[in-house]
Chains A and B, each alone.
Chain A
Amino acid sequence: MVFPDGTEALRDISFTVDKGEFVTVVGPSGCGKSTLLKIASGLLEPTGGSVAVDRDHLGYVFQDATLLQWRTVRANVELFSELNDVPTAERRQLAQEAIDLVGLKGFENHYPKSLSGGMKMRCSLARSLTLKPPVFLFDEPFGAVDEITREHLNSETQQLFQNEGFAGLFITHSISEAVFLSTKVLVMSARPGRIVAEFDIPFDYPRNPELRFDPDFAELSGRVSVELRGSHS
């Protein structure tokens, strides 16, 4: 991927994510991780190579919750159904299921300005869940929330992955988040972004937060960390 100003953002990237796989890409900031997702989603056309993603009902959450301020939680969650002309009754039901799933029950009529950062992110997740996405892209969604909320959201995300069985592609620069969530971790180098290492993560789902203090988890995280540092040169 080369931008019009000549910046080469990505080079020789090739990988697949199957149903039931949760692949996380970690890399230094500015290495083109977000660009990778934009290409996967079709928001950007790659300058070379090919992409095959099932883009019907694509789940996609951004770094910001990108909620529409003038819509209540419910109306925000209903947005995609509305854009895709889903009938009102079905729309309502899909939204309610998704809202229950992310634990926002009782906040349906709140406006985003009265939600905490973590709740906004949950709302954003729920919005994508209404699509019943076979493929779910996450672009550093929990970067802006505090550590405790982040751990909660991580647990909930792997729960969602386990229950909904989508193919997940997750971007982060947190190693522990990457190892905790994924079936596979890819390490990307600084610009131009290339994949320099690949780790299979063997832990069973559902994963408990305590997994983070498991020696195997620490050992694996350490190896990812070494690769990440090596990639930074």
Chain B
Amino acid sequence: MTTTDNQATEAPDPASAPGASRAAKASRAVLPPLGLGLALVGLWYYVSYIVLEDKRRFLLRPIHQVIKVGFMDADNRTEELQALWSSTRIALIGLSIAISIGFTLAIIMSQAKVVEKAIFPYMVTLQAIPILAVVPLISFWFGTGATSRIVVCVMISLFPIIVNTLFGLQSAEQGAHDLFTLHHASRMTRLRKLMFPAALPAIFAGLRISAGLSVIGAIVGDFFFGKGDAGIGQLLRRHASRLNGEELLASVILSSLLGVVVFGFFGWIQKRATGRWHDAISAEA
């Protein structure tokens, strides 16, 4: 039967998946991005040394210089790591709040079409507001410290969670709903045993997008609201104004690394939660 060979590729069974083919598989997953990475580093050097003449080299410092000044220098490193920690904390708090609000709203909207129709336009409106436009308002209401940074983070990362969770909750097929109707299942049972599990793949898709956005949100918030611990946004701002090319690039690299880690983390959870039954088209994390 076709089922048995399907099973073999999933189960980490050493007998049916020989180590050699696994190594080949791993190298196929690692080599393409590694190759492209090397090519990009090459391009970077090419621009630094060949395209830019000496006195304009500050526009793009060579990569080893960035690593040396940005990460190897003890003072700079401490500063970067503190900023990283501050931004990570804001991103995680913001993301948790966005997840709570997003889940709650999506579950409420999934219970009645009328509620969905009432709330949804406002969600779209909120999503469409440029953060820049409300920065003054946010600072009036919440000050210029961590609270405001979290607010920005939530505003930026909320929408994909709501949309994907709602879409997921509504994705259970009518036939499956009929089964639950025939057996007089309560709303709660239906939500718990049908709508929520059916929604999991979509929920994780939303979480991965929002996780990345929450990092952006934390850094953008930090860029505008710098009171208290300096996050990566403050570092970016400071280094940009002082034309510190190496430190600036180091901060950029750090912020995208944070985004990648958070994205990968949720990809990993997704695989743990739905990989056995759902054919996810997911990037290997």
Which residues of A line the B interface, CB within 8 A? 41-43, 58, 60, 62-64, 66, 68-71, 79-80, 82-84, 107, 110-116, 119
B-chain residues with CB within 8 Å of residue A66 when the two chains form the complex: 173, 175-176, 178-179
In the complex, what's the smallest C-beta–C-beta distance from B4 to chain A, in angstroms?
9
B7 touches A110 (CB 8 A): yes
B-chain residues with CB within 8 Å of residue A84 when the two chains form the complex: 183
Most-contacted residue by chain A among B6, B179, B181, B279 (CB, 10 A) = B179
**Which residue from chain B places its CB closest to the CB of A55 in the assembled complex?**
B182
B181 touches A70 (CB 8 A): no
B-chain residues with CB within 8 Å of residue A111 when the two chains form the complex: 276-277
- A-contacting residues, B1-33, CB 8 Å: 1-3, 6-7
A-chain residues with CB within 8 Å of residue B176 when the two chains form the complex: 66, 68
CA distance A82 to B193 in the complex (A): 10
Contacting A43 at CB < 8 Å: which of B3, B178, B279?
B178
- The answer to whether A83 and B279 touch (CB under 8 A), given A62-B175, A115-B3, is no
- The answer to whether A70 and B197 touch (CB under 8 A), given A43-B182, A110-B3, is yes
- The answer to whether A68 and B194 touch (CB under 8 A), given A113-B279, A114-B6, A116-B2, is yes
A-chain residues with CB within 8 Å of residue B173 when the two chains form the complex: 64, 66
Most-contacted residue by chain A among B197, B274, B277 (CB, 10 A) = B277
State how many residues of chain B have any CB contact under 8 Å with chain A: 27
Q: For the complex, is B126 an interface residue (Cβ under 8 Å from A)?
A: no
CA distance A41 to B178 in the complex (A): 10
CA distance A70 to B1 in the complex (A): 21
A-chain residues with CB within 8 Å of residue B279 when the two chains form the complex: 113
Which secondary structure characterizes the binding site on chain A?
loop
Tally A-B pairs: CB < 8 A: 62
- The answer to whether A79 and B276 touch (CB under 8 A), given A68-B197, A70-B197, is no
A113 touches B178 (CB 8 A): no
A70 touches B274 (CB 8 A): yes
B182 touches A60 (CB 8 A): yes
B-chain residues with CB within 8 Å of residue A58 when the two chains form the complex: 182
A114 touches B175 (CB 8 A): no
CA distance A112 to B173 in the complex (A): 15
A-chain residues with CB within 8 Å of residue B185 when the two chains form the complex: 83
1/0 per residue B155-199: CB within 8 Å of A?
000000000000000000101101111111100010001100110
A-chain residues with CB within 8 Å of residue B274 when the two chains form the complex: 70
A-chain residues with CB within 8 Å of residue B175 when the two chains form the complex: 62-64, 66
Q: For the complex, is B278 an interface residue (Cβ under 8 Å from A)?
A: yes
A-chain residues with CB within 8 Å of residue B178 when the two chains form the complex: 43, 62, 66
**Which residue from chain A places its CB closest to the CB of B189 in the assembled complex?**
A83
**Which residue from chain A places its CB closest to the CB of B6 in the assembled complex?**
A114
B182 touches A114 (CB 8 A): no
Q: For the complex, is B67 an interface residue (Cβ under 8 Å from A)?
A: no
1/0 per residue B243-283: CB within 8 Å of A?
00000000000000000000000000000001011110000
Query: Could you list some 6 contacts between A and B, CB below 8 A?
Result: A42-B182, A43-B181, A60-B182, A62-B175, A68-B197, A112-B277
- A-contacting residues, B196-222, CB 8 Å: 197-198, 200
B-chain residues with CB within 8 Å of residue A63 when the two chains form the complex: 175
**Which residue from chain B places its CB closest to the CB of A68 in the assembled complex?**
B176
B3 touches A70 (CB 8 A): no
In the complex, what's the smallest C-beta–C-beta distance from B231 to chain A, in angstroms?
39
CA distance A71 to B6 in the complex (A): 17
17 more contacts with CB within 8 A, not counting A69-B278, A82-B193, A116-B1, are: A42-B182, A43-B181, A66-B173, A66-B178, A68-B176, A69-B198, A70-B197, A70-B277, A80-B179, A80-B183, A83-B183, A83-B189, A83-B193, A84-B183, A110-B7, A116-B2, A116-B3
